[in-house]
Every structure is written in structure tokens, then in C-alpha cells.
Amino acid sequence: MLATLTALIVLEVPRRPQRITVGLPSSLTRDVPHLREKTAKAGMIARALGIYRVERVVIYNDATAREPNSDGRLLEKLLSFLEAPQYLRRELFARDSDLQFAGILPPLRLPSHPNPEKPQTGLVREGLVVESGKSSKVNAGFGEMVRVSGDLALKRRVTVRLTRASPSLEGELVDATRLPIYWGFSITRTDSKLSQMVRGEKPDLTISTSRKGHAFQDVSAELAVRWRASHLPMVLFGSPSQGIPEILESDGVKVSTFSDYNLNTIPDQGVETVRTEEALLATLSCLSQLEAS
């Protein structure tokens, strides 16, 4: 029965052939003044990332010397809260005024966010080390702690696979990035500017998004070949006040020499401005079609 269930999960949510990284600006929530709206925007972003199986999010610094980078720290915290399984959030996140509206956040229902279930050999769960020694105990959301060999650091976030379900729970560490199913996304925030961040990431395909870019349908055939050959693509999004070309220009870089493709995925838009969270959904939807084209 377990093998059948596992096969179904793998069929429904396999990892993409590409490990997609999305670059988001630290000022993404600066256009909305209230923490409630900032929280809601982060929820929309997280849903889009999960829906389209994004592996990594990098929050780059687009703040000027006169602007605080508090919005970038807030976005990182909200996305990290959303990515964590519900049963670990109380231990991972202390009482924090930045999370006072977390109750409005939508559930992600990632494979790493399972419903309560009876422990069975082979189940993979996210966990937190709560006791260490010659062997360590991990809270993996079962009520009973999972014993794992090795002296692991307290409060370390780990991924475990159950190797025994009775009479006590035992498990082994696994590398979540090597699981055959999509497991969720990681979050990194950097103080580097956009151009520095991308150079440090070394993607094998760089896609920027802009109203001034080439219409997606005009380059989709050529892009599909590059996309399917790519392993580490990065997709870049601008801020509420500046597009990717303008952000790069402030770094002394031209988008035409920096990005492999500068795309407009919402041509002939019917509104004056497209919000970053809307562009994220539209762009990831377009790129998903390349895999089947």
C-alpha cells in the first residue's frame, strides 16, 4: 500500500528537470503600507512558487543608500514561515510582531506539509532536532519523537525518512534536494545588488521580465530549446517602482548584455501596471508550457 501511495505522489508532483531559481527584489512589499497587506502579498508569492515548483528564491537588494532594507527582511521571514510545515512553526518562530497577521496566510499544501498521518516505514518528513547526544531526537510531527543516529545540532532543521515505526520511531537523514518529488522551496536573502547576485549564482540561463521585453510568443520556439537544455535557470523580477532594465542600469549594466532573454509575458496588458506577484504567476505559467512544447 505504501509503495502505491508513494508512486502516486511521485506521478503527481515530480521535480522539474530544471532547478528553477527566482530572483525577487527586497522592496517587493514596499508599495503597500500596512503589515496585513504585506503579509497577504507574501502569501500570493509563496503560492505561485509552490504551484510552479520553484526550488529556490533569492531576495536581492534593490534599496538605495537612503532606504531601509526592512521590507527585504520581512519578506524573507514571511516566506520562511510559509515554507515551514505547520507542526514546526511554533518551535522555529518565536512570538514576533511581524507575524501578527500570519493567520490570513493561505496554506501551501506542499508535499513537505502533510496532513496528520499514522507513522509508517518509508515516510519522509521535515523535522527539528530537539535532543542530541549519541543519538538525536527529531520532532517530525508524529507526536512521538523520531530517533536518528548521530549527535545533531539542537534546533537544526532536517529531513528524515522513517526506518522503523514500531515499537518506537527511528529514522535516517535524507537530502531533500535529492528526493524524486518536488518538496518545496528554499529562501535566501542577500545584500548584493541584482547584477552581483546573478553573477554569484552562475545560472546557465538568465531570464528577466519587463514590459519592454520581447513578447513571449515571439521567442517561445527558440526559448523552448534553451529552457529544456537548462539545469539551473534563473528568472528575475523587478520591483513595484522599477523594472529589471532600470534596476540594472543603476548598476551600470544593460539588460541586453546581461539577460539571455528579456521577456514580456503579459503583452498588451489592460492595466497601467502589473504587480510583481501577478507577473510571477504569468511568467511561470508561460515557462511551464515550454516543457511540453
Q: Is the peptide bond before 167 cis (omega within 30 degrees of 0)?
A: yes
CATH number at residue 248: 3.40.1280.10
Give this prediction's pTM: 0.91
92 and 158, same domain (yes or no):
no
The answer to whether residue 200 is domain-embedded is yes
The answer to whether residue 7 is domain-embedded is no
Residue 11's pLDDT is 39
Output the nine-digit C-alpha cell for 182: 518536488
Single-letter code of the amino acid located at 231: H
Distance CA 37, CA 200 (A): 32
CB 250 within 8 A of CB 201: no
The answer to whether residue 116 is domain-embedded is no
Number of structural domains in the chain: 2
98 and 196, same domain (yes or no):
yes
In sequence order, which residues have a C-beta less than 8 Å from that of residue 288 and are 6 or more positions away?
52
Residue 293's pLDDT is 53
CATH number at residue 160: 2.40.50.140
262 and 133, same domain (yes or no):
no
188 and 49, same domain (yes or no):
yes
280 and 221, same domain (yes or no):
yes
Among residues 136, 160, 176, which one ends one of the domains?
176
Residue 263's pLDDT is 96
97 and 189, same domain (yes or no):
yes
Residue with cell 510568443: 217
The answer to whether residue 1 is domain-embedded is no
The answer to whether residue 51 is domain-embedded is yes
228 and 280, same domain (yes or no):
yes
101 and 189, same domain (yes or no):
yes
131 and 273, same domain (yes or no):
no
CB 252 within 8 A of CB 270: no
The answer to whether residue 115 is domain-embedded is no
Among residues 176, 192, 216, which one ends one of the domains?
176
Residue 236's pLDDT is 98
129 and 270, same domain (yes or no):
no
Q: Which residues pair with 181 in a beta bridge?
A: 14
Report the phi/psi class of residue 104: left, alpha or beta, with left for phi > 0 and alpha for psi in -120 to 50: alpha
190 and 281, same domain (yes or no):
yes
Residue 241's pLDDT is 87
Using one digit for the tens of pLDDT, what is the confidence trace for 102-120? 999 999 999 999 988 899 9
- Which residues does the chain have with pLDDT short of 50? 1-11
Distance CA 240, CA 209 (A): 13
Residue-number span of the structural domain to which 142 is assigned: 124-176
Output the nine-digit C-alpha cell for 97: 510582531
Using one digit for the tens of pLDDT, what is the confidence trace for 215-261? 999 999 999 999 999 999 999 999 988 999 999 998 899 999 999 99
Q: Give the up-direction half-sphere exposure of residue 45: CA atoms within 13 A in the CB hemisphere.
A: 31
Distance CA 271, CA 290 (A): 26
Residue 116's pLDDT is 86
Residue 7's pLDDT is 36
Calculate helix-pair angle for 35-51, 276-290, nearest 10 degrees. 0
The answer to whether residue 117 is domain-embedded is no
146 and 44, same domain (yes or no):
no
Distance CA 26, CA 32 (A): 13
Among residues 176, 195, 212, which one ends one of the domains?
176
